[in-house]
Structure 1
Amino acid sequence: MEDAVQSSPPRKRLRAVHACNICRARMIRCDGHDPCASCSASEQNCTYGLNPNHKGKTDLILAGVLRMEAALFDMRSMVSSPSFLGSQMTLPPIDSSLETLSSHQRSSPSSTSNADNLQNAVLDPMHTSATESILQWHHFDVFPSLRQTYISIFHLEQSREPIKLRASTMYLYVNGAEIDRIITSFASSVNFWYPTMSTDMLKAAQTRIADGKAADTTSSCLAYLVMALGCANLTISAAHHRAMGDIYMDTVLKKLCVVQTEVSTAATQCLFFVALYFAFVRRPLQAWQYINMAATQCRLLLSYSPANETSDDQECLRRIFWSCYILESDYLAELSALPQSGIALIESSIPLPAQYNTHANIQEEEQSSLYFLACISMRRLLNRVHHVLYARESGVSLDNGRFPSVVSELNHQLEEWREFLPVSLKFSVDAQETANEYGGFLRQRYLTCRSVIYRPYLTWIITNCMDTMTTPENVLGSCKSCLDACLLHIINLRWFAHTVFVDTWICSLSMTAAMLILLVACRLPVLRQLVGEEVLTAASYLKQLIQEWTEISGQPDSPSIEQSLRLITEIDGFIQQEYQGEEEYDLVQRVRGC
């Protein structure tokens, strides 16, 4: 009997057409029994709805993102309402201001329609949460050396030598196996993080490279860019691919005039990929320039759909739109005075990513879509946090009567975002390893957002020079949330390919900001007790990691990254002095006691 079972072909597992309500909410498999195995094991009340659920995981997370967006819109409307603006919550004491918003405020729909309350997730010009803005806090006046040799990021990057092109164009001969390897590298990295290329487009690019066609067309440029970015990703593990990537990129830059004179989805995609390559080689101004160009062309094509456009072309364009939205926001978060493309002004009217065949493996395609949606929703939340709390004219971070409730609601939205992540992307808020690098990257985004949300409490305490005896416990808890997030942001930094490839420059600045905040906290006894001891080794870990990343993409070095490393080193010296001074004081006290 056993032999008969073993010899029979394996049966394909049937998916339950109608999942129970509990399994559907948790997005796990349901065997369709009554009660199902999952509910029986967890002792849950297993119930079934009236209609079968035919939606896939991508549809479910999309619905969740839309629900969270609606809640954010309502929160934004509530913050700007006359009743909220007129509320008086003075500090100190601050205890009564720290109550979370009522469940009615969180869940009840606004009396007006959502259409009237839509607020786009746009970063305000000259917001006050960038690293350069933090360095201008008067709390750093006691550390004049931090500013004496500091040069603005824009001027450092703008004064760099221009990119030099080769005197003659080189066309590489690459065998079929190597082409496959490079295309696969592109698909598993760039096209996973920003899934804009369909499998058909990738096959066409691969065929064009294999045929050795070197025509001056947008299609050729797109094929070369796929190879350049695939080589760039391989550079993370094999340095010799950097030279290959540069050769492909050199060819693209010489043909780019063809792309720039064409108005099409393929041309827009080329502009976006050029921006990604400049991000990889740590050229932030050039990366922003091409993101801006791609975003502007997205706006044009979304406003005037070409006559011969297919549904796949439309979906591709929308995905490029959201990719540009994420990256432009990342750069504006640190260089707030950069002119904006206007892409954020229409983001609430652009559909989120839908069905699109980007990977041959269905599971990989689904994971890519979920990851992309998670990154989009987090970037939108980050933009609203910057807007509501730190807009130069209207931000509430310095308004003692308003920021506690706003912080509470924003943190509520952040936790809902984390709770709704699919199991494969979930992470714990600690220093434990994540199941995969995608969860690790999302945790870094989460920690960034959490530290920015709770920062107003920190600035309130350091501005009022509070001490342990007069500071309410719940205020200290909020400060600890900010400081823990800053420290965990540093501790959890890893060799995530997404970070190394795209975000090395941005990461160096955000880590500098985290170190600056930790330095301020270490100077006040009331806050120093909230800072973990890992702060004493954080800088050495950061410097080693960022230096290794910069070596991957080769010369020339980014002067703003070098400046960030210098600042991190100097900040670490001041932190060490603060702790050494405390140890010396304790030693003297013990000697006197004897």
Structure 2
Amino acid sequence: MSTDDLGAESSQATSNVRKRRRAAQACNICRVRKIRCDGREPCETCSTTGQACAYGAEPNTQSKSDLILEGILRVEKTLQEMNMRNSKVTSPGILSGYLRDENIISTPLSYGGPETRSRHIVSQSPITSGPNIHNAILSSFHTSTTESVLEWSCFDHVPSIRQSYVSIFGLEQSRPPIAERTTARIPFVSGSDLNNIINSFQHSVNFWYPTMSMQKMNHLRSRIMEGYEDNTTTTCLAFLMMALGCASQSVMKTFEAHDPEAANEQQSNKAMADMYFDGALKRIHVAQMEVSSTANQCFLFVALYFAFLQRPLQAWSYINATAAKCRLLLAYSPLESTAEDEECTRRIFWSCYILESDYLAELSALPQSGIAEIESSIPLPGDYSTHENRDTEEQSSLYFLACLSMRRLLNRVHNLLYAKETGAGLDDARFPYIVCELDHQLEEWRELLPSNFQFTVDTQSTVTQHGGFLRQRYLTCRSVIYRPYLTWLLTNFNESKESPPNVLEKCQVCLDACLLHMLNLRDFTHTVMVDTWICSLSMTCAMLILLAAIRVPALRDLIRSEATTVGDHLQQLMHRWAQVPGHFQSPSVAQSLQMIWDVHGFIQHEYEQDDVRKRRLSNNTVDTI
């Protein structure tokens, strides 16, 4: 296929997806059938079926949560249909006309040794159906991790980046364990201090992962006030709630580190958090022996505290343990289990699903718990009293659903494009259509967000921190969706041929998303407390992608000038975050920071060299004249 055909066909694929926008109001038939309506009179569906098209017979009584839930189901149905449709594609790739040999597409991705890194054969035989995507599973050994990007052949020209790199697993495995305190004393807190700590827990951990009910929280508050220190699961959970509340206070004070008084308070909060966590660890064996939602909540909170300490392997171990208990409780509900217990278990399940997927996105070889294999059979979060203020409770539920639906979409993006054996990211006969549809689903997700979580796709401030965090997830997803175009062009760039304009346009979408992802990184409490380790790898990946693109003249012109300063921005932010756990900093976070700084230097060097080339060319032109 010619380059002209490429632009026409790829543009058609894009327009076919983009024109399917939801109408402001669906007709009665489409609303009942829960399908898209184009808003015309009559609409396309009613015209096709010969039914009477009318509007406004019933008011829309759906809540915001219902709209998000409906959106999740609609996205999943569309992706299922798309997977079936694209599994039948047998035509040559729409990008193949640009290549010298239409049967071979080089790839910068490495699945093994040097031979597999250099070329990927595009099969001309019928493509077998991919895995069922009814469950949003993140495939093992997928090829979208930071370590996979580092294996791109374009980095052969900067060997120092690879030579200094040490396996993340090796770095984290070599860390000394947390030293157990010799004393089991728990700090005394006044009534006002206790309320402040619990409020901090409520506005952080229980807002992001709303698993604790008000009834249980009040019970735990009473136990702390009465000084209970018995070896029970309830006391263990109470200490973990206090540990996470103090940790949240510590993170908030980190943002005021320029104030000496705030710095002292930060250290005091961190010390209290560690004392409560130590008390909980001394009792975690009791939760290990118990099968209940309370015991399971203990495991989840231990995982979250290890995430706060930037210890990914320990966090992963407890995420797996939580997932195992979830599967057991969901399969065999205890006889004394209440409706609140069951809802708590479901919410813990979905929290585990998000956390496990976030870790798998960066360490794809981690052993999976199997929780994703049953996610489609587990009801989504329902009614649950988690906050005293009803508005806060609603916002928390909406945020949880938004994070959950984005994580499910991200998993499907990884699976459809980057699964090691079946991903379409290297198959130019399929990925342009998949990219178009995934982009449409991503925009649908953004349109469904409540006003407090809305954001613009630029560097403008958001209404809330939560909107800023969701924008980061959106930009991550957008860059991953469009990355196949970039990897294709990086591998097949030919200076003697003009790059297809439509492909360059898609590459720019990917590069803009990467750069905006870095520029929009802020002191989000959610990121600093739970996602610092993940974020450090994600930002390293984005920097590597920018460096790879800058080395190609056709792509360098697409990248905004902020690329030369974004590394410094990341360094300043993340260096401060790395200090949050105290003296025992994560070696893999430290390595990521060093790589970001090294890549930052390479990017600046590339731009300096480009300026030299342009001046030399300009001087030669003047001399010729």
TM-score (norm 1): 0.87
1:119 counterpart = 2:123: no
SS at match of 2:404: helix
Match of 2:72 in 1: 65
Q: Which amino acid aligns with 1:88?
A: P
Match of 1:512 in 2: 540
Match of 2:521 in 1: 493
Please say if residues 252 and 525 of structure 2, whose CA atoms lie closer than 8 Å, have aligned partners that are also in contact: no
Match of 1:525 in 2: 553
What runs of 5+ residues in structure 1 fail to find an aligned partner? 1-20, 26-46, 96-115
Q: 1:571 aligns with which of 599, 605, 618?
A: 599
Q: 2:230 aligns with which of 215, 237, 243?
A: 215
Distance 1:60 1:465, change over 3 A: closer
SS at match of 1:400: coil
Provide Cα deviations, 1:230-263, integer angstroms capped at 9, x if missing partner: 0000001331200000000000111111111111
Q: 2:210 aligns with which of 190, 195, 214?
A: 195
> What is the deviation of 1:468?
8.9
Match of 2:385 in 1: 357
Range moving further from structure 2, 353-362 or 582-591: 582-591
Q: 1:92 aligns with which of 89, 96, 102?
A: 96
Please say if residues 94 and 475 of structure 1, whose CA atoms lie closer than 8 Å, have aligned partners that are also in contact: no
CA–CA separation in structure 1 for the residues paired with 2:541 and 2:341: 40
Please say if residues 126 and 391 of structure 1, whose CA atoms lie closer than 8 Å, have aligned partners that are also in contact: yes
CA–CA separation in structure 2 for the residues paired with 1:468 and 1:328: 46
Q: 2:169 aligns with which of 143, 154, 157?
A: 154
SS at match of 1:185: helix
> What is the deviation of 1:54?
4.1
Distance 1:164 1:51, change over 3 A: same
Off by >6 Å, runs of 4+ in structure 1: none
1:426 counterpart = 2:454: yes
Please say if residues 292 and 329 of structure 2, whose CA atoms lie closer than 8 Å, have aligned partners that are also in contact: yes
What runs of 5+ residues in structure 2 fail to find an aligned partner? 1-22, 28-53, 100-130, 254-265
Q: Which amino acid aligns with 1:421?
A: L
Task: Please give the residue correspondences for 1:151-550 in structure 2 after superposition, counting only pairs within 5 Å.
Answer: 151-238=166-253, 239=266, 240-467=268-495, 470-550=498-578
CA–CA separation in structure 1 for the residues paired with 2:251 and 2:317: 25
SS at match of 1:334: coil
> What is the deviation of 1:538?
0.7
CA–CA separation in structure 2 for the residues paired with 1:392 and 1:485: 24
Q: Which amino acid aligns with 1:182?
A: I
Q: CA RMSD in A?
A: 1.8
> What is the deviation of 1:23?
8.1
Distance 1:291 1:420, change over 3 A: same
Provide Cα deviations, 1:444-484, integer angstroms capped at 9, x if missing partner: 00000000111111111111123495212111110000000
Distance 1:54 1:298, change over 3 A: same
Please say if residues 93 and 427 of structure 2, whose CA atoms lie closer than 8 Å, have aligned partners that are also in contact: no
SS at match of 2:616: helix
> What is the deviation of 1:552?
2.3
CA–CA separation in structure 2 for the residues paired with 1:428 and 1:146: 34
> What is the deviation of 1:505?
0.4
Q: Which amino acid aligns with 2:324?
A: T
CA–CA separation in structure 1 for the residues paired with 2:133 and 2:360: 22
CA–CA separation in structure 2 for the residues paired with 1:555 and 1:467: 51
Provide Cα deviations, 1:350-400, integer angstroms capped at 9, x if missing partner: 111111111111111110111100000100010011111011111111112
> What is the deviation of 1:589?
3.0
CA–CA separation in structure 2 for the residues paired with 1:56 and 1:520: 45
Match of 1:585 in 2: 613
SS at match of 2:294: helix
> What is the deviation of 1:311?
0.9
Provide Cα deviations, 1:509-555, integer angstroms capped at 9, x if missing partner: 00000000000111010000011100000111001100111122212
Range moving further from structure 2, 153-162 or 237-246: 237-246
Distance 1:199 1:48, change over 3 A: farther
Please say if residues 454 and 481 of structure 1, whose CA atoms lie closer than 8 Å, have aligned partners that are also in contact: yes
Q: 2:82 aligns with which of 58, 70, 75?
A: 75
SS at match of 2:424: coil
CA–CA separation in structure 2 for the residues paired with 1:94 and 1:584: 30
